Amino acid sequence: MVENIYYNDFSNHYFSFLQSLHSNQIDYKEYQWLIVNSPKMQRNLGIFGVLSNFIDGRFQYRNLQILVNLLPQIREAYKTTRSYNALSFDFERLNGFTNVITESLLRYEGDLSERDNATRNRLKNPFIWLREGVQWVVTLPIQLLYWTGVINYVVLSRWSNNWFVKFLNFLIIIIGLASSIVTLVTGYNPFIQIMKEIK
């Protein structure tokens, strides 16, 4: 899964950055990589990357996007802890920021693992293969319109999830299953004879 590869890459850079913080020498190359890639990772995190309520000293934030907001705060908190008059509060603040990001990434990793397992289980189910195959064939004309730029993604999604398209998928699946069962039970030649009689 592409998301897994990107997550692994991002988390490796993040934990390497944390390691540099713990060795009292910030790795600005890792920090720069994290800042450049944090918007994409923030989008990937989805609900796991947003805190509904976050308090930092006297300030309270609602719906705080964790990565894009806290990575710069980690750098600033680190600078404060390096100053000669650093307080224990500054160290607690730095640890708090790093813990929030770490927990967010771990939750996302758990979600990726769960989705990966569900996908692997679905791949073993032949009925899902049948459903997806029929849906692909039925929605192919709509997808061609999207690929050529005639319609946008919103219209593609709306038309692909339309009740008529879903009913058509269902109808084709039922007809296909029924004809397969009849063919298996009667054999190929008698089935062709039955189809000729129906016409």
Q: Could you read off the pLDDT of 57-110 as tens digits, one per residue? A: 777 788 889 889 888 888 887 877 766 565 666 677 778 888 889 999 999 999
Q: Which two tokens stand for residue 185?
A: 């039970």
For the chain, give every domain's residue range: 2-121, 125-198
> Taking a C-beta distance cutoff of 8 angstroms, is the pair 36, 68 a contact?
no
| 179 contact partners, CB below 8 Å, separation of at least 6 | 191
What's the pLDDT at 180? 81
Residue 40: band (very low, low, confident or very high) from pLDDT cuts 50, 70, 90: very high
Distances (CA, A) of 43 to 11, 69, 154, 194: 15, 13, 19, 56
pLDDT tens-place string over residues 95-130 = 888 888 999 999 999 999 998 888 888 888 888 888
Distance CA 186, CA 166 (A): 30
* Mean pLDDT within 167-186: 84
For the cut 60, the answer to whether the pLDDT of residue 156 exceeds it is yes
Beta strands 59-65 and 50-56 are antiparallel
The pLDDT assigned to 86 comes to: 58
54 membership: H or E segment, kind and range: strand 50-56
The HSE-up count of residue 48 (CA atoms within 13 Å, CB side) is 16
What whole-number distance in Å separates Cα of residue 9 and Cα of residue 184? 50
